[in-house]
Amino acid sequence: MNEKYKRRNQIILAVFIAVIMVSSIFGLFGSNNESDKIEYKGKEFVRAQSGWLTHINNKPLYIKYSPEDLANVSMPNVNFRQYSKVYISLNPNNRDDRAFYDLDYNIKEYFPTLRNFACYEDIIGCEDLPLKDCKDSSATNLIILMKESNITESSYEDNCLTLNGDITKLIDKIVLQVLLP
């Protein structure tokens, strides 16, 4: 990416993380209601201002949807650890920015191989990114294809995970599946 886009993305990410952290603090101290807490796989999730917060290895984990809300979301079980590279392939003009940043923020500490961004079609905004779609997947390279759709669904075939629809919900499900197996 050129420097202008890199700098813009860095600023957006920094502001987004700051907003999440401040929102989470106010959400934590604003309520003592037991319905604002959920136990999931040995972790206590606490309702924050605009989502749910827990900690893994003393690091915050933030998701928009509660683990209860995600219980009926279908997601193929993908072993991210088996891949040497994982490409997140999207259309930068259509993506759900929140989902994209949630995935990046929550997973980067644990899986730095997820820091490979790509586009699945050659359009404006993709000039400095590689083009990757399912035909580029392999036993060592996972492709995560993020597409907008009116129907929320996911599929996994031949080392390619396709996410359609409510990307934020699907990303939250991946985060829980990967970090709290």
Q: How far is CA 34 from the centre of its chain?
A: 27
Using the predicted structure, report yes or no on whether residue 43 has a pLDDT greater than 90: yes
Give the pLDDT score at 28.
46
Using the predicted structure, report yes or no on whether residue 141 has a pLDDT greater than 60: yes
Q: In CATH, what class is 80-179?
A: alpha beta
Residues 63, 51 contacting (CB under 8 angstroms): yes
Give the pLDDT score at 15.
55
Beta strands 51-56; 43-48: pairing state: antiparallel
Using the predicted structure, report yes or no on whether residue 25 has a pLDDT greater than 90: no
Using the predicted structure, report yes or no on whether residue 29 has a pLDDT greater than 60: no
- pLDDT, the chain, mean: 81
Q: Where are the alpha helices (DSSP H) in the chain?
A: 3-29, 67-70, 97-107, 167-179
Which residues make up the CATH 3.30.379 domain(s) of the chain? 80-179
